[in-house]
Amino acid sequence: MSTELAPAVRRALARVVQGKARRGLFAGKHIKFGNNVSEDGGNKTRRRWLPNAQKKRVYSELLEEMIPMRVTAHALRCMDKAGGLDEYILRTRDQDLKSVFALELKERLKAAKSAIDSATAPSAP
């Protein structure tokens, strides 16, 4: 079930977030650029620092399935603090997720949660 995002949202994400982060959960971590500075001469060498991103399968209780994704160590810690993948995705604001993958997953989780809520709701006599 792939939900289509509005073109304005896609353009905004394209300007703000690097390509891999749009396809995973990076929790705001990006590539950082800077210099290595030698101790003796102070010579500067350009370099970049990559986020600690790993391919992981994370369990979703609402969807009852393992979801493969690229996720940073920071995002995994955020999930632990929130109480799991579902809680992290549902409680994080859309503009803070900054990921097409996360926004589509959020829509799937909302649909699953509403289906569970409607199934467990008491029927009126």
pLDDT for res 1: 46
Among 6-10, 18-22, 24-28, 38-42, top mean pLDDT goes to: 38-42
Indicate whether 107 pLDDT > 90: yes
What's the pTM?
A: 0.76
- Phi, psi at 59, each rounded to 5°: -85, 135
Token pair 């699953």: residue: 112
At 75, which helix (H) or strand (E)? Answer: helix 73-82
Task: Please report the domains of the chain, with CATH numbers, ordered by start residue.
Answer: 7-114 (2.30.170.40)
pLDDT for res 121: 72
Three-state SS at 119: helix
- Phi, psi at 2, each rounded to 5°: -105, 120
pLDDT in tens, 48-96: 999 999 999 999 999 999 999 999 999 999 999 999 999 999 999 988 8
Token output for 46:
């350009």
Contacts of 21 (CB under 8 A, 6+ apart): 29, 30, 51, 98, 99
Beta carbons of 47 and 34 less than 8 angstroms apart: yes
pLDDT for res 88: 96
pLDDT for res 71: 95
Neighbouring CB atoms inside 10 A of 94's CB total: 12
- Give the Cα separation of 55 and 44 in Å (integer): 33
